[in-house]
Structure formats: structure tokens, C-alpha cells
């Protein structure tokens, strides 16, 4: 597998499912999605297993798995000092600020590039940063 290729929603959620939540790697995608929907990591209407996933959405799913959704979604209290913070979707600003604070994401050249699709290597780095923080 090419580490620079884009990660699909299903592949990223599988990393969360096994690496963060500790579920079996042998689960079917149907079981994976059912459990993540039940845990409020992913709303049912966002299911799109083959779609590439953006950095900001990957951050949101990871932080939801961490259980801090309520805090991340408080409007108007977050400052995110990435140079391209204006490109972050307003409803995801808290997630991105918290992820940077926890050093789960560091950005590149001062930017997060939130709308760009995340690569496999970046997805693994994000999970690694969470696990080693």
C-alpha cells in the first residue's frame, strides 16, 4: 500500500476502531460502521466508506472517539493558530484547535490544509501521535 495515497473514510475509521477503541481488526465494515454510529463517532448520514477523507473530518472522527465531542463543539471559544485556520469549516474549528493542543496534528509549514484529503501516512501519524501523547 502506498503511504502517500489518499485514505478512505472506511480505512481511517478502521484505524480508530482498532487502534483507539480497541476492537478486533477482523470486524466487517458493517460491524465497524454500526459500532461507530452507536458510539457517536460517525452520524449515519455521513457514511461514505469509499470517499476520501479530509484532514479536518479525520480530526473530528478521532476526537469523537476520544469522547470530547461536546467540548469541541462549543462555538466561539477556540483560537486555532494555523496560518490557514480560515479554511477550517466553522463547526470543526474546535476539533482542529484541540487536536493541535494535544499535539495530534502539527501541520506543515504552519498550515493544516484542512480541506485536503488525508494520506495513509498522515492518518497513521495522527493515530500514533494520539497514542503517544
96 has a pLDDT exceeding 80: yes
* Phi–psi pair at 94, nearest 5 degrees: -60, -40
If one compares 2 and 53, the residue with the highest pLDDT of the two is: 53
Label residue 67 by pLDDT band (50, 70, 90).
very high
If one compares 110 and 22, the residue with the highest pLDDT of the two is: 110
pLDDT of 1: 64
132 has a pLDDT exceeding 80: yes
pLDDT of 15: 92
CA–CA separation, 53 vs 11, rounded Å?
9
127 has a pLDDT exceeding 90: yes
Query: What distances in angstroms separate CA 49 from CA 30, 95, 105, one per listed residue?
Result: 10, 22, 23
3 has a pLDDT exceeding 90: no
User: Using CA atoms in the order 70, 100, 84, 14, what is the torsion angle rounded to 10 degrees?
Assistant: -70
90 has a pLDDT exceeding 70: yes
Mean pLDDT of the chain: 93
Amino acid at each position: 500500500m502506498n503511504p502517500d495515497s489518499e485514505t478512505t473514510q472506511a480505512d481511517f475509521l478502521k484505524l480508530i476502531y482498532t487502534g483507539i477503541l480497541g476492537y478486533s481488526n477482523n470486524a466487517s465494515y458493517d460491524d465497524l460502521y454500526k459500532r461507530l454510529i452507536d458510539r457517536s463517532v460517525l452520524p449515519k448520514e455521513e457514511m461514505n466508506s469509499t470517499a476520501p477523507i479530509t484532514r479536518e473530518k479525520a480530526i473530528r472522527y478521532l476526537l469523537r472517539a476520544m469522547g470530547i465531542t461536546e467540548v469541541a463543539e462549543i462555538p466561539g471559544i477556540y483560537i486555532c493558530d494555523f496560518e490557514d485556520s480560515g479554511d477550517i469549516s466553522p463547526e470543526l474549528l474546535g476539533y482542529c484547535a484541540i487536536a493541535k493542543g494535544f499535539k495530534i496534528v502539527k501541520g506543515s509549514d504552519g498550515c493544516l490544509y484542512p480541506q485536503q484529503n488525508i494520506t495513509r501516512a498522515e492518518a497513521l501519524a495522527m493515530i500514533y501521535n494520539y497514542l503517544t501523547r
